[in-house]
Amino acid sequence: MATPGKQLGDRLILGSVIVLALLWTAPLIWVFALSFKPNAFLMQHTDVLFSPPFTFKNYRDILGTSAVFQWVVNSCIVALGQTFLTLLLASLAGYGFARTEFPGKRWAFAFVLAGLAVPEQAIVIPLHRMFAEWDLHNTYSALILPKLAAPFGVFLMTQYFKAIPKDIEEAALLDNASRWKIFLRVILPLSIPAQATLGIFTFLSAWNDYLWPLISASKPEMYTLTLGLAATQSNFAQSEGIGYLMSQAVFAGLPIFILYLFFQKYIVMAVAGTTVR
């Protein structure tokens, strides 16, 4: 079907996208390769990538400073905690809004939707004061709690629950099953795809969150990995250690990147699925 001219055009487009992709990955490859070079060598050369000298010293240095492990642990606790609690609150509320009737429901839903318009920056200052009054800064609670108030998850789950056919539920109701039982036994298992979408989103944004941890966690032992990396960048000027900085970027980036490659299909579905309705 395709004419020769069309085929040539296709190849040209694909070719230029491949060139762009190579440009896109060049910084990553450069940083990865140089992270295996001695710092003294990098003082003179940053253009020798794939020939000796090689060293693992930069990575040994990271493992030597125990703070990084604490940061990884903190990030895991915060991201997993936030994900679990968001799924719990959003599923309950989503079910309530989508499938039950109670006085004032419409009003309550509109009230929650209005929160979508509030940017994080508009509330960080009062939030900081509130957590100071409660004496909660530098705790996991402070790092986890504020993001639970975001209405996006409730909105997503409500939309999803609304799309589940009602027959199933009405049959169960006739059997005199309680709404809680129906929610747990019937509706929750059916909503696993939406749970996965919201879970991945919440985990990634918790892991990568920067502004709130920067404001709330002032003790290095309470830093998340994202925040800890920012702290080590502050002495960037002493650039005799750029190999060390590069190995830090790889150390922090590679695990989440590998995780991405594993869950790629679901992440892409999560991103694409939120807008296709």
Residue with the two structure tokens 């979408």:
197
Query: Which helix (H) or strand (E) covers residue 171, if one does?
Result: helix 167-174
Is there binding between residue 152 and other proteins (CB under 8 A)? no
Q: Which residue from 199, 202, 229, 244 is in contact with other proteins, where contact means CB under 8 A?
A: 229
Please confirm whether the linkage preceding 53 is cis (ω < 30° from 0): yes
Binding mask 35-74 for other proteins (x = CB under 8 A): -------x---xx---------------------------
**What mask of x and - would describe binding to other proteins in positions 233 to 252, judged by CB under 8 A?**
x--x--x--x--xx-xx--x
Residue selected from 76, 89, 186, 190 as contacting other proteins according to rule CB under 8 A: 89
**Residue among 4, 51, 110, 276 that touches other proteins (CB under 8 A):** 276
Of 260, 246, 255, nearest to 30 (Cα)?
246
275 binds other proteins (CB under 8 A): yes
Q: Which stretch binds other proteins (CB under 8 A): 50-58, 61-69, 191-199, 219-227?
A: 219-227
Could you give the angle at the alpha carbon of 70 between the alpha carbons of 68 and 76, nearest 5°? 105
Tokens of 45: 């050369």
Please identify which residue in 8, 11, 25, 221 interacts with other proteins, judged by CB under 8 A. 25
81 binds other proteins (CB under 8 A): no
What's the CA gap between 267 and 245, in Å, rounded? 29
Residue 216: closest CA among 157, 102, 134: 134
Is residue 256 within 8 A of residue 207, CB to CB? The reply is: yes
Binding residue (CB under 8 A) for other proteins from 50, 165, 219, 238: 165
- Of the pair 149, 192, the CB lying nearest other proteins is at 149
